[in-house]
Amino acid sequence: MTGTIPIQAFLIISTLMFFIGIYGFLTRKNLITMLMSIELILNSVNINFVVFNRYLYPQNLQGHFFSLIIIAIAAAEAAVAIAIIINIYRNFKSIDVDNVDEMKF
């Protein structure tokens, strides 16, 4: 299915996606949008693992299982993060990082 597409094409896509995610993490103020940026970063890493597995070590499935486990960890992380965010909203009536500075020293 991959035909003549070089491995670099996939790596460029995942690199750009990773750095777009980091840009979002640095510039967003809302906790949920920051969580969405983290999902972008995790997703780009998944693409990397899968592409390396398919192109460089097709006789094994290590990268495939790494991605599978990262997806599970991302689901767990999203659930805990959203529970924390909802708790913060209950206490501060806002989820902007600027307003949540109670523990700032």
Site for other proteins in 19-78 (CB under 8 A): 19-24, 26-30, 32-33, 35-37, 39-40, 43, 46-47, 50-51, 54-61, 64-65, 67-69, 71-78
Residue 93 is given by DSSP the state: S
Burial of 52 (0-12, 13-18, 19+ CB in 10 A): middle
Positive or negative, the CA dihedral 81, 83, 85, 88 is negative
Q: How far is the CB of 70 from other proteins (least distance, A)?
A: 10
- Subset of residues 1 to 20 that bind other proteins, contact rule: CB under 8 A: 1-5, 7-13, 15-17, 19-20
The least distance separating other proteins from the CB of residue 102, rounded to whole angstroms, comes to: 17
68, two tokens: 């599978």
Q: Find the binding residues for other proteins in span 81-100 (CB under 8 A).
A: 82-87, 89-90, 95-96, 98
Size of the site for other proteins (CB under 8 A): 72
Angstrom distances, CA of residue 82 to CA of 7, 32, 39, 54: 36, 8, 13, 34
